[in-house]
Structure 1
């Protein structure tokens, strides 16, 4: 890479993360257009101790990232680094349980003798916020200040790491993210070319493209409605008609939400229409996120609407066709935020090692590995990220950052499951759009913080 291109990438990567940080909102006030800090070199995370306090200790780390993805690869490197700098300590890393299992069992596991010391966990009021209220997560505020993590995870990237009475955006640090993420459209360039389809820039152009694929016997969008993907498509459609006030009302409780307003009505009706037109399969109700991803990787589907967490894995696993990305056409706002959190179990006897682990995953060395493998690190040496495919992701993140709208399931405990089941019923045709919105309205208002 030339010095000029290297410098440009460094500015784009740092600038996009800072821009995203400044655009994210705290619950106590509307999002402010704050001035971005000056771009500087990535700060060093505090150096981990060269020896563990005692020999023959085991640090249990749970996460749900694939070993072939950007986060998984970087954390395997972190394991090597940790064990090299902590003689006598073994890292037992377990990523076999998956996102769904950890989401569903976290409160029970963290309240047992089987709890890991440190765990990747979903951010937001309904997840990390709830566990912080239940006393199951360690308050990491003192460690954050001592180790300087607040200088790495800055501005709006802190929003999902800090909770006050279970509500994100302020208060104590109960988690620390070490990457960014957002939802986009992945597309099969070969199928687009074969069927004479250009990358759409409006919703109307997207639907015209999908009509072409349907006419050719293809289902345009790979999805999985038994988990998170389908509800994120619904949210993208809602966001196509949303403004910042609606997002703040829904996510941050600024004012009551009318679930039969233009945006939510459009999202529900358009989702049902997409099923009727064959853009989304009815049998996606029995498919999960993994089914969706493998379907796209097989070359069977022209598009997949999902998050940047797939990016590094697709870089590794797709070999049979060329692919690319674009933001959801026409949207000013899209789902996204800082990434999932490292949380530490309140009853862990290895909190010192858990904090050292987080420190190492935030170090420029490990963060740069994540970047080169297709992730969105918060503390990488950007001049060392050289892959053009990664540069494409960084550029898309820069375009996304001013319109970060979080995720649809965040506002209330249990809302994830409510959205999954109600969107499934919408896809099945067992609920009308109005009935689905009624159900979400009731659940949201009964379970949001009062």
Structure 2
């Protein structure tokens, strides 16, 4: 099937074709017609499935196919909420690239930057606004955005927004929207909280699920390397050097752990940089750009900072620390094995993390193969020690407290020095946006 067969305008198909895409992914094949019908949608789609184009393309089609109301100051026609700045920037880039031949305008707003340039963008009135919840609430409180004319609402990665404690923020946004609108909810997992949100938000929705619930991508080779906690760094260096890995995304549990690992790898002659909420925007941009260009061998990231990283054919993901929440394992390894390419996900597991590993295997309904690396055999008499969690977190899923939400928000959208939202109609770079199939997202000055 081609994109034109899905009912998209020639201008949109042309923009998609220019990015090198000819056939829609499964989520797009199902989601695009469903959105074009105008009804609500509940979609289960993991990262890397091309879900961004699954809603941006039909939204562009819907907005351009009917007479647009006269743009009034501060009004918005379509609102897309995302949990982090990287993802917000990535989604808005897709809107601009695929809408380049349409007479529609868009902007992205998130925290960590001055609000005045964003106020100027909003004052003109927008067809599409992509935002993180905290910064959108800032504008709502200041009266610099008018949501009373919203025709389409998208909650992207809704599960992550709930994990980060944004449920109250989301409800405050919903209260400002007109009752008659189209609602689209995308989530990688369907927890009880997501089901409750869907029940309260959606009206007789179409339902799409392109992968098994909480499944891991089949093309990803997954394995566990048992190792003592103090031997993880030497083992990682050994794996990188002995296997000649040239591009590796490594996940740590904490920001401090990420910084420490970068320093250790540097002493081993391995080029590495870290991205997390305490890094400046310029540092994050530089790290992402060099990693995508192949100049940087290892990118070390925390879970929240990694949302929105979209790199074609990333060969290796390493869980240096297992995640506190089992679903995050699925998100992490989904960074590889995209667009049908093969990938490898390796987890370095010490005795402290055995309970976490059990939770992951229960979620994905399979036992991960163990492979002891010669020379790094774990001590059979090692005793587990308490895990250092991210600030305010405990084992398992649960709603974040207000204090934790504020802390996560500082990582996810309000911390650091990120550029203000930008408004444009055409792309200005060679990299492809997150699109019909997974594609790299530009990092030039527009990250989280």
TM interval, short-chain normalised: 0.3 to 0.5
More helix by share: 1
- Relative to the length of structure 1, the TM-score reads 0.37
